A and B are shown apart, each in its own frame.
Chain A
Amino acid sequence: MSKASIALNRFGYGLASGQRPPADPVAFLLRQLETFDPAPRPIAARTKTRGKTGEMLQLLRGLRDQMQQMGDPAMNDAGAAAMMAETGADDPRAAALAALPPDYRKKLVEARRVAIDDLAVRVNVAIASPAPMVERLVHFWSNHFSVSVGKPGTQFEVGPHEFTAIRPHVLGRFSDMLKAAVLHPAMLLYLDQFQSTGPGSPFQQRRRRRANPQGGRGGLNENLAREVLELHTLGVGGGYDQGDVTELARALTGWTVPGIGRVGRFAEDQPSGAAFVALAHEPGARKIMGRRYPAGGAEQALAVLDDLATHPATARFIAIKLARHFAGDTPPASLVTRLEADFRTTGGDLASLTRTLIASSEAWVPGPVKFRAPFEWFVAAARLTGIDGLEPRRIARVLNELGQSPWRAPSPAGYDDLAASWAAPDVLLRRSELAERMVQAVPADDVIARADTAFPGTLSDTTRSWLTRAESGRQALALLLVAPEMMRR
Chain B
Amino acid sequence: MLTPLDRRTLLAGSLALGASGLALPRIALAQASGTRNLLFVLLRGAADGLSMLAPVGDPGLEALRGASLTDYDGAPRIGSFFALHPALAEIGKAAQAGEALFIHAAATAYRERSHFDGQNLLESGGQVPYSAKDGWLNRLVGLMNEAAPDEPLRALAIAPSVPLALRGNAPVSSYAPSSLPDASADFMARVGALYESDAELAGLWARALETRAMAGDDGLRNLRDASANGALVASLMRGERGARIAMIELDGWDTHANQRGGFARQARGLDALLAAYRSGMGDGWRDTMVLVATEFGRTAQLNGTGGTDHGTASAAMVLGGGVRGGRVLADWPGLGASQLYQGRDLAPTIALESVLAGAVAEHLGLDPAQAMARLFPGRSAAPLSGIMHG
Q: Are B115 and A471 neighbours in the complex by a CB distance under 8 Å?
A: yes
Cβ of B70 within 8 Å of any chain A Cβ, yes or no, is: no
Cβ of A330 within 8 Å of any chain B Cβ, yes or no, is: no
Cβ of B200 within 8 Å of any chain A Cβ, yes or no, is: yes
Interface string of A145-163 (1 = CB under 8 A from B): 0000000000000000000
Q: Are A472 and B161 neighbours in the complex by a CB distance under 8 Å?
A: no
A423 to B200 alpha-carbon distance, docked (Å): 9
Cβ of B29 within 8 Å of any chain A Cβ, yes or no, is: no
Interface string of B19-50 (1 = CB under 8 A from A): 00000000000000000000000001110000
Given contacts A462-B197, A473-B116, A483-B194, contact A442 B161 (CB under 8 A): yes
Q: Which residues of A contact B46 (CB under 8 A)?
A: 471
Number of chain B interface residues as a range: 35 or more
Q: Closest approach, in angstroms, between the C-beta of B297 and any C-beta of chain A? A: 14
A483 to B205 alpha-carbon distance, docked (Å): 12
Q: Are B211 and A425 neighbours in the complex by a CB distance under 8 Å?
A: yes
A324 to B388 alpha-carbon distance, docked (Å): 69
Q: Are B198 and A484 neighbours in the complex by a CB distance under 8 Å?
A: yes
Q: Are B159 and A432 neighbours in the complex by a CB distance under 8 Å?
A: no
Cβ of B67 within 8 Å of any chain A Cβ, yes or no, is: no
A379 to B197 alpha-carbon distance, docked (Å): 26
Cβ of A424 within 8 Å of any chain B Cβ, yes or no, is: yes
Cβ of A295 within 8 Å of any chain B Cβ, yes or no, is: no
Of the candidates B160, B187, B195, which one forms a contact with A475 in the assembled complex, judged by CB atoms under 8 Å apart? B187
Smallest Cβ-Cβ distance to B215: which chain A residue = A429
Q: Are B161 and A487 neighbours in the complex by a CB distance under 8 Å?
A: no
Cβ of A463 within 8 Å of any chain B Cβ, yes or no, is: yes
Q: Are B44 and A423 neighbours in the complex by a CB distance under 8 Å?
A: no
Q: Closest approach, in angstroms, between the C-beta of B157 and any C-beta of chain A? A: 11
Q: Are B190 and A470 neighbours in the complex by a CB distance under 8 Å?
A: yes
Q: Closest approach, in angstroms, between the C-beta of B173 and any C-beta of chain A? A: 14
Cβ of B2 within 8 Å of any chain A Cβ, yes or no, is: no
Cβ of B212 within 8 Å of any chain A Cβ, yes or no, is: yes
Smallest Cβ-Cβ distance to B159: which chain A residue = A440
Q: Are A432 and B188 neighbours in the complex by a CB distance under 8 Å?
A: yes
Q: Which residues of B contact A417 (CB under 8 A)?
A: none
Cβ of B119 within 8 Å of any chain A Cβ, yes or no, is: yes
Q: Are A484 and B201 neighbours in the complex by a CB distance under 8 Å?
A: yes
Q: Are B201 and A441 neighbours in the complex by a CB distance under 8 Å?
A: no
Given contacts A466-B194, A472-B44, contact A440 B176 (CB under 8 A): yes
Cβ of A55 within 8 Å of any chain B Cβ, yes or no, is: no
A425 to B176 alpha-carbon distance, docked (Å): 30
Cβ of A241 within 8 Å of any chain B Cβ, yes or no, is: no
Q: Which residues of A contact B119 (CB under 8 A)?
A: 472-473
A470 to B188 alpha-carbon distance, docked (Å): 12
Q: Are A474 and B251 neighbours in the complex by a CB distance under 8 Å?
A: yes
Interface string of A451-465 (1 = CB under 8 A from B): 000000000001100
Smallest Cβ-Cβ distance to B180: which chain A residue = A440
Cβ of B207 within 8 Å of any chain A Cβ, yes or no, is: yes
Cβ of A37 within 8 Å of any chain B Cβ, yes or no, is: no
Of the candidates A447, A466, A473, which one forms a contact with B193 in the assembled complex, judged by CB atoms under 8 Å apart? A466
A483 to B194 alpha-carbon distance, docked (Å): 7
Smallest Cβ-Cβ distance to A427: which chain B residue = B204
Q: Are A433 and B184 neighbours in the complex by a CB distance under 8 Å?
A: yes
Cβ of A478 within 8 Å of any chain B Cβ, yes or no, is: yes
Q: Are B187 and A432 neighbours in the complex by a CB distance under 8 Å?
A: yes
A475 to B190 alpha-carbon distance, docked (Å): 9
Cβ of A479 within 8 Å of any chain B Cβ, yes or no, is: yes
Cβ of B208 within 8 Å of any chain A Cβ, yes or no, is: yes
Cβ of B62 within 8 Å of any chain A Cβ, yes or no, is: no
Q: Which residues of A contact B186 (CB under 8 A)?
A: 471
A425 to B205 alpha-carbon distance, docked (Å): 6
Q: Are B204 and A471 neighbours in the complex by a CB distance under 8 Å?
A: no
Q: Which residues of B contact A429 (CB under 8 A)?
A: 208, 211-212
Q: Are B116 and A472 neighbours in the complex by a CB distance under 8 Å?
A: yes
Interface string of B333-377 (1 = CB under 8 A from A): 000000000000000000000000000000000000000000000
Q: Closest approach, in angstroms, between the C-beta of B190 and any C-beta of chain A? A: 6
Q: Are A436 and B195 neighbours in the complex by a CB distance under 8 Å?
A: no
A428 to B251 alpha-carbon distance, docked (Å): 22
Given contacts A424-B204, A466-B194, contact A471 B211 (CB under 8 A): no
Q: Closest approach, in angstroms, between the C-beta of B317 and any C-beta of chain A? A: 20
A258 to B360 alpha-carbon distance, docked (Å): 70
A470 to B176 alpha-carbon distance, docked (Å): 23
Q: Are B207 and A425 neighbours in the complex by a CB distance under 8 Å?
A: yes
Q: Which residues of B contact A468 (CB under 8 A)?
A: 114
Cβ of B253 within 8 Å of any chain A Cβ, yes or no, is: yes
Q: Are A441 and B161 neighbours in the complex by a CB distance under 8 Å?
A: yes
A485 to B43 alpha-carbon distance, docked (Å): 30
Having A468-B114, A470-B254, A472-B45, one finds 14 other A-B pairs with CB under 8 Å, namely A423-B204, A425-B204, A428-B208, A432-B188, A447-B116, A462-B194, A462-B197, A469-B256, A471-B46, A471-B254, A476-B116, A479-B187, A479-B190, A479-B194
23 contacts between A and B (CB under 8 A): A425-B204, A425-B205, A425-B207, A426-B211, A432-B188, A440-B176, A441-B176, A466-B193, A469-B190, A469-B256, A470-B190, A471-B45, A471-B252, A472-B45, A472-B115, A472-B116, A473-B115, A479-B187, A483-B194, A484-B194, A484-B195, A484-B198, A484-B201
